[in-house]
Amino acid sequence: MSPVTERAWKNVLKNPPSPEDLKNAFEKVSHAFELNGNDARFMQDYDLAEGSESQIDELLVEMPGGNTIKKNSDHFLKRDSVKKMCFPCCATALFTLQTNAPAGGQGHRTSLRGGGPLTTLVKGNNLWETIWLNILEEGDFKNLGDIEKSDLVNIFPWLGPTNTSEKNQKVTSSDVNPKQMFWGMPRRIRINFDALETGTCEICGKESHDLVTGYISKNYGINYEGGWRHVLTPHTEDKRGILPVHLNPGGISYRHWLGLIQNDGEGGKQPAFIVNKFLDRHYKFNLLNEVFNRNPALWAFGYDFDNMKARCWYESQMPLIIVNEYIRAEYENVISQLIKSADVIAGNTRSCIKEALFRYSNNVKGDLSFIDSKFWKDTEPEFYRTLNELHGLLAKGENTVELKLSWLKSLAKTSSKLFDEYSQSEFIGTADPKRISLARRDLAKYNSPKGQKLKTILGLPIENSTKR
């Protein structure tokens, strides 16, 4: 239902289609969404007749894999706890796996955006707004692949035989329709519908006569590479090309603002196409005043995979604060300074805690990322408060030096608080008081607003630098 023009897009945002219109649109493609059809089946290989057999729970990316079971370490998610699934749960699991597919051993391809991509949506005030805010115009797809390839099989790959990849053959966005980005199918799977069981679905608890228990699969499915640029995912551009962003431990917070909401400039991180599109649409149609009564949010989510193991599912929302076009450049510039200074202080905090705890801190390899997570989380309310104030100052054409200094002060305060918490409380008895106090002194020095590094990052005046 992609609209043809920007104006048509805006009209539909304000006047949603009727249930009949939606039904007519969906009916045209409903044959692609048959889970157990005779020919094409939703997100399943077209003609796979044999393959290795799996229990149905292997569709779930968080269930323990072979290695975990062998080592008997399936602690929170137990093996064999999901042996039967109803059709809706099975379809959802298939969609989730094909859309996020992590590495899965030889020839088991990852998703079109690699294992565990980060997705960002613009979130409106209700379901309709959220859907339509993330719909592009037809013309937007022109630069994303070959839109001449308009047969449905080029969008829903399961409608025809799979482009397999035994010889590492690739499928790029110009080999098919770019809209396949929403329906990628890297894994060759066929659910077994011959032996349905009666009982309770072990995912949702529904009673059913149609519970599936297993499937067959084969490696060397579609190998998506080259030129794909998913419109709902931020990307990083460097000498390797344009790569989709993946999640890392620690989750999503304002530390990711640069790259999720605004370009970070030198780092090459770019927000998803849809985020820039939203801003363009806003500035063109004054959406905020005409349609919304408050700022929409950016809704970011995805799996954090360690190879094929799902470590975590992260989900977070950030306000998409919209400012007048004439202060936008400066507003974004200061935000970038605020975040970069927080990044420096987060690093100081982590390294000084390490220095306090370990005599040979350079050799310490343990994971201290929880300190970073806590730092970003604890400073987040102050960040949004500062943005609000910044907006007001710039709108009035006022100076932002005081604001930046007070931001630094608040970061340094959180930093010392975390230092005290982690350097002492848990290690009474083993701690070395002298080392701790030296590390604390270092931290104060590194976080000082007088330091050249922080001043440069924040664009603060550097005075007295020649005085002795």
Q: What are phi and psi of 56, to 5 degrees?
A: -60, -30
Q: Which is nearer to Zn ion, 211 or 346 (CB)?
A: 211
Minimum separation from the CB atom of position 89 to Zn ion (A) = 3
User: What is the number of helices (H) and of strands (E) in the chain?
Assistant: 13, 11
Minimum separation from the CB atom of position 200 to Zn ion (A) = 9
Helical spans, DSSP H, in 77-123: 87-100
CA dihedral 174, 176, 179, 185 (to 10 degrees): -120
Minimum separation from the CB atom of position 83 to Zn ion (A) = 13
Minimum separation from the CB atom of position 79 to Zn ion (A) = 19
Q: Which is nearer to Zn ion, 86 or 252 (CB)?
A: 86
Q: Which is nearer to Zn ion, 40 or 201 (CB)?
A: 201
Q: Which is nearer to Zn ion, 85 or 260 (CB)?
A: 85
- What's at 358, amino acid-wise? F
Q: Which is nearer to Zn ion, 89 or 298 (CB)?
A: 89
Q: Which among 81-89, 111-119, 232-240, 407-415 is the span making contact with Zn ion, rule CB under 5 A?
A: 81-89
Q: What is the DSSP string of 370-381?
A: HHHHHHHHHHHH
Minimum separation from the CB atom of position 206 to Zn ion (A) = 5
Site for Zn ion in 244-263 (CB under 5 A): none
CA dihedral 165, 171, 175, 179 (to 10 degrees): 130
Let me know: does 273 contact 181? Beta carbons within 8 Å. no
Minimum separation from the CB atom of position 59 to Zn ion (A) = 12
Q: Which among 61-69, 78-86, 216-224, 350-358 is the span making contact with Zn ion, rule CB under 5 A?
A: 78-86
Q: Which among 106-114, 189-197, 204-212, 361-369 is the span making contact with Zn ion, rule CB under 5 A?
A: 204-212
Q: Which is nearer to Zn ion, 56 or 272 (CB)?
A: 56
Minimum separation from the CB atom of position 64 to Zn ion (A) = 20
Let me know: does 61 contact 303? Beta carbons within 8 Å. yes
Q: CA-CA distance, 235 to 259, in Å (whole number)? A: 8
Return the structure tokens found at 97. Answer: 């796996």
Q: Which is nearer to Zn ion, 29 or 204 (CB)?
A: 204
203 binds Zn ion (CB under 5 A): yes
Q: Which is nearer to Zn ion, 56 or 203 (CB)?
A: 203
Q: CA-CA distance, 85 to 102, in Å (whole number)? A: 22
Minimum separation from the CB atom of position 201 to Zn ion (A) = 3
Contacts for 360-369 with beta carbons within 8 Å, 24 or more apart? 367/249, 369/249, 369/250
Q: What is the largest CA-CA distance in the chain?
A: 86
Q: Which residue, among 110, 112, 108, 57, has the nearest Cα to 85 in the 3D structure?
A: 57
Q: Which among 80-88, 180-188, 276-284, 407-415 is the span making contact with Zn ion, rule CB under 5 A?
A: 80-88
Q: Which is nearer to Zn ion, 82 or 261 (CB)?
A: 82
Site for Zn ion in 336-365 (CB under 5 A): none
Q: Which is nearer to Zn ion, 142 or 206 (CB)?
A: 206
Q: Which among 123-131, 194-202, 326-334, 388-396 is the span making contact with Zn ion, rule CB under 5 A?
A: 194-202
Q: CA-CA distance, 430 to 466, in Å (whole number)? A: 44
Minimum separation from the CB atom of position 87 to Zn ion (A) = 8
Q: CA-CA distance, 2 to 290, in Å (whole number)? A: 22
Minimum separation from the CB atom of position 204 to Zn ion (A) = 3
Let me know: does 144 contact 272? Beta carbons within 8 Å. no
Return the structure tokens found at 55. Answer: 């229990």
204 binds Zn ion (CB under 5 A): yes
Q: Which is nearer to Zn ion, 203 or 387 (CB)?
A: 203
Site for Zn ion in 290-319 (CB under 5 A): none
Q: CA-CA distance, 278 to 146, in Å (whole number)? A: 24
Q: Which is nearer to Zn ion, 22 or 204 (CB)?
A: 204
Is the CA virtual torsion 350, 355, 358, 363 positive or negative?
positive
Secondary structure (3-state) at 120: strand
Site string for Zn ion, 400-429 (x = CB under 5 A): ------------------------------
91 binds Zn ion (CB under 5 A): no
Minimum separation from the CB atom of position 208 to Zn ion (A) = 7
Residues in binding contact with Zn ion, number by CB under 5 A: 6
Is the CA virtual torsion 344, 347, 353, 355 positive or negative?
negative
- Give the residue, chosen from 201, 258, 338, 393, that forms a contact with Zn ion under the rule CB under 5 A: 201
- Give the residue, chosen from 13, 89, 344, 418, that forms a contact with Zn ion under the rule CB under 5 A: 89
Q: Which residue, among 165, 49, 51, 60, has the nearest Cα to 107 in the 3D structure?
A: 165
Question: Which residues of this chain interact with Zn ion, rule CB under 5 A?
Answer: 86, 89, 201, 203-204, 206
